[in-house]
Amino acid sequence: MEKVIIGSKDKFDFLGFTHINGKTRKGYYKVIHKTSQKKMKTKKQNAKQWIKENIQREPTEIIKRLNVKLIGHYRYYGITDNYNKLEEFRRYIIMTLFKQLRGRGQKKKMSWEKYNKILKYNPIIQPRIYVAIS
């Protein structure tokens, strides 16, 4: 796989992606597709709101439902050159869920150890590239 060098600042947003003019290491032209900042911000806000609304459920059920939502996100945005944005969204989900679970108990707060045990048996799905664009 060739490393891409972003050259010109010519870019535009369309269908939730930022399309950027770039070049490969060998100097060939390539269009780079990244999740647009505007869409990413909206997706994060929606995910946070959904977690807040469903925080009273069991953590295993929350994670199961989140994984369904994440698979849909990965299938749409999972294209070449966009893996870092998918991983950024996954990390955001993990941190937001931890903060919400930690805040729901009044006496004993959830620790990282307990949260990691929950994630060990109910992992949040890893991002995957579904469409490879040359």
Q: Is the pLDDT of residue 62 over 70?
A: yes
Q: Is the pLDDT of residue 134 over 80?
A: no
Q: Could you report the per-residue pLDDT of 81-105, keeping only the tens digit for each?
A: 899 999 999 999 999 999 999 887 7
Length of the chain: 134
Q: Could you report the per-residue pLDDT of 69-78, keeping only the tens digit for each?
A: 999 999 999 9
Q: Could you report the per-residue pLDDT of 4-53, keeping only the tens digit for each?
A: 555 446 888 899 999 988 888 888 888 889 999 999 999 999 999 999 99
> What pLDDT sits at residue 130?
93
> What pLDDT sits at residue 32?
87
What is the 3 state secondary structure string of the chain?
CCCEEEEEEEEEEECCEEEEEEEECCCCEEEEEEECHHHHHHHHHHHHHHHHHCCCCCHHHHHHHHHHHHHHHHHHHCECCCHHHHHHHHHHHHHHHHHHHHHHCCCCCCCHHHHHHHHHHCCCCCCCCCECCC
> What pLDDT sits at residue 26?
87
Q: What are phi and psi of 96, to 5 degrees?
A: -65, -45
